[in-house]
Chain A
Amino acid sequence: MFIASGRVFTFFMLILLAIIIAYYIKRSREGYVPTIRPIAGLDAIEEAVGRATEMGRPVHYTPGIGALNGATAAMTFAGLEILSVVARTIARYGANLIVTIRQPTVLPLAEEVVKQAYMAEGAIELYNPDTVRYLSQEQFAYAAGVLGLLHREKAAANILLGAFWAESLVVAETGNSIGAIQIAGTARLTQIPFFAAACDYVLIGEELYAASAICSKNPIKLGSIAGQDIGKIIAVGLLVCGALLETVGISWLTQLLVK
């Protein structure tokens, strides 16, 4: 068979999803802007930056510790996208930004995102090449680096948006202990309880992906989110139908899925 065995259904689902998303992107180009509910954590960014400016203390930002490939790449991309918005706000306010990085491959991108944001705000003279700091690829060496940095610099705001693992609580509890406003978000479910316990605002799961689109205010990106929601409705439909059919002993749908 031309399509690999066991991947036939997945292949056609991928095509279908691509068509649906492309359709919504096309609609967005034609002027359709889907309504997406506001996210409290995003509204708090401006407040956090304003507070940091008043206090003369920096804002710490991390796009997570995930790489640019694999399942967590989407979270890292979302973190970089929101970094652009945060850096622009900071450039406008003239506050001080510190971005910490764990993955070497993310470093040049984060540097470029911050630089572009300062340029876009016409404040390139405020851009400090030391803003984006690579700490360590070793997870807890990175966490220790952030911990020390938060304590030394007494950051007024701590923004954590991306993929996080066990270091999430180290960073969030430290931010809590120094009294920073904390905005955190990840689609890694295991870390959400830690953020919920220690942070002021939490973006849960897919809110992180939606946040990047809302922040960018790009209708085409918002359109793609509407498209992916249709994909989710299809997945829910398949789940419900599959469960019901299997319960009554009919397994053709299950067999279709593994084809």
Chain B
Amino acid sequence: MLTKLQNIDKRIIYILVLLAIIIPLVSPMGIPFSINATTQAVFDKIDSLPDGSTIAIGIDYSPGAAPQIHPQAKAVLNHLFYSKNVKILFTSIATTGPMFTNQLLDEIAGHDKVYGTDYIHLGYLPGVETAISAFAKDFYKAFPVDETGGNIADFPIMKDVKSAADLDAMLVFTASEPSQYVRQIQGAYGVPLAVGINSVIVSTNMPYVNSGQMFGLMNGLRGAAEYEVLSERPSEATASMDALSFTHMIVLAFIIIGNISWFGTRKDKEGV
């Protein structure tokens, strides 16, 4: 029996995980959840930005990480575009970033903000950390034209901003290396920085939050759900929380089964 438990067919595990995702999505239970302090800090900072502030938003995630991070970005943009009057520069160091920026702007359409005056999409800059450094030093040199091909100097939003030193905050949505922005933006220019990241890299980024180098952090899909609740716009992330709960429980259940079978068969072996 225990030997069988130790060799459960992978396909059975896969089917149970699939069911743990699908059933709560079809029939949600609405398990309540609290707000993490790191998400609260992101919300509070954005909510307290004075009118006319300028912030940069880095959209740096790939399609793979999008299910966790895209809802975070959407929740933050809904808050910014519908409840705040701040100027927003969209940048990206991921090839897929501009596409997600366009997608986000389409999804939050209906606001009264004007392109070029209230927000601008600067596009993609290759070179990863070198690109962040180049962008931080001089927006005009890094992005001579915006995503639409217009000279960025012609847009009113760019009138008073030249480098990262002119930013009031930066938010980065990424599944890669947020620490690059700590080095090139927060560390070098003292710009308050927050990140929206996938859950697997949260542990490596907590030291930056605890040291104050990041003023906040959104943790995967749960971070997105928390922000949706805080900004009073519950959406897809909030609806996915039950699926998150049940998949966690399935993984835990299999870890327990794996341990029981391992200890059981070890005793058998010792007996022989």
1/0 per residue, CB under 8 A from A, across B151-194: the answer is: 00000000000000000000000011101100100000000000
A243-259, CB < 8 A from B: none
B200 within 8 A of A: yes
Contact between chains at B63 and A190 (CB < 8 Å): no
Instruction: State how many angstroms separate the Cβ of A228 from the closest Cβ of chain B.
Output: 19
Count of B interface residues, CB-CB < 8 Å: 21
A67 within 8 A of B: yes
- A137→B64 CA distance, assembly (Å): 12
Smallest CB-CB separation from A70: which chain B residue?
A: B129
Contact between chains at A69 and B204 (CB < 8 Å): no
A to B contact number (C-beta, < 8 Å): 45
Instruction: State how many angstroms separate the Cβ of B178 from the closest Cβ of chain A.
Output: 11
B-side interface mostly: loop
Smallest CB-CB separation from B203: which chain A residue?
A: A190
Smallest CB-CB separation from A72: which chain B residue?
A: B177
Q: Which residues on the A side are within 8 Å of B177 (C-beta)? A: 70-72
Smallest CB-CB separation from B65: which chain A residue?
A: A166
A116 within 8 A of B: no
Q: Which residues on the A side are within 8 Å of B128 (C-beta)? A: 67, 69-70
Smallest CB-CB separation from A188: which chain B residue?
A: B204
A127-141, CB < 8 A from B: 137-140
Contact between chains at B64 and A166 (CB < 8 Å): yes
B36-63, CB < 8 A from A: 62-63
Contact A69 B129, CB 8 Å, known A139-B64, A190-B203: yes
1/0 per residue, CB under 8 A from A, across B67-102: the answer is: 000000000000000000000000000011000000
Contact between chains at A69 and B64 (CB < 8 Å): no
A59-111, CB < 8 A from B: 67, 69-72
Q: Which residues on the A side are within 8 Å of B105 (C-beta)? A: none
Q: Which residues on the A side are within 8 Å of B176 (C-beta)? A: 165
| Most-contacted residue by chain B among A70, A188, A189 (CB, 10 A) | A70
B145 within 8 A of A: no
Contact between chains at A71 and B64 (CB < 8 Å): no
Q: Which residues on the B side are within 8 Å of A70 (C-beta)? A: 128-130, 177, 180
Q: Which residues on the B side are within 8 Å of A165 (C-beta)? A: 175-176, 201
Q: Which residues on the A side are within 8 Å of B203 (C-beta)? A: 189-190
Partner of B179, one of A71, A139, A189: A71
B198 within 8 A of A: yes
Q: Which residues on the B side are within 8 Å of A71 (C-beta)? A: 129, 177, 179-180, 183
Chain A interface residue count: which class?
Answer: 10 to 19
Instruction: State how many angstroms separate the Cβ of B66 from the closest Cβ of chain A.
Output: 10
Contact between chains at B62 and A138 (CB < 8 Å): yes
B127 within 8 A of A: yes
Contact between chains at A190 and B130 (CB < 8 Å): no
1/0 per residue, CB under 8 A from A, across B197-234: the answer is: 01011011000000000000000000000000000000
Contact between chains at B62 and A190 (CB < 8 Å): no
- A137→B97 CA distance, assembly (Å): 13
1/0 per residue, CB under 8 A from B, across A179-222: the answer is: 00000000011100000000000000000000000000000000
B110-165, CB < 8 A from A: 127-130
Instruction: State how many angstroms separate the Cβ of A134 from the closest Cβ of chain B.
Output: 14
| Most-contacted residue by chain A among B128, B180, B198 (CB, 10 A) | B128
- A139→B65 CA distance, assembly (Å): 10
- A67→B177 CA distance, assembly (Å): 11
- A189→B63 CA distance, assembly (Å): 23
- A140→B95 CA distance, assembly (Å): 13
Q: Which residues on the A side are within 8 Å of B130 (C-beta)? A: 69-70
Contact A189 B204, CB 8 Å, known A70-B180, A71-B129, A138-B96: yes
Instruction: List 13 extra interface pairs beyond A71-B180, A72-B177, CB under 8 A.
Output: A70-B129, A70-B177, A71-B183, A138-B96, A139-B62, A139-B65, A140-B62, A165-B176, A165-B201, A166-B64, A166-B198, A189-B204, A190-B200
- Which A residues fall within an 8 A CB radius of B? 67, 69-72, 137-140, 165-166, 188-190
List 5 A-B pairs, Cβ < 8 Å. Answer: A70-B129, A138-B95, A165-B176, A166-B64, A190-B200
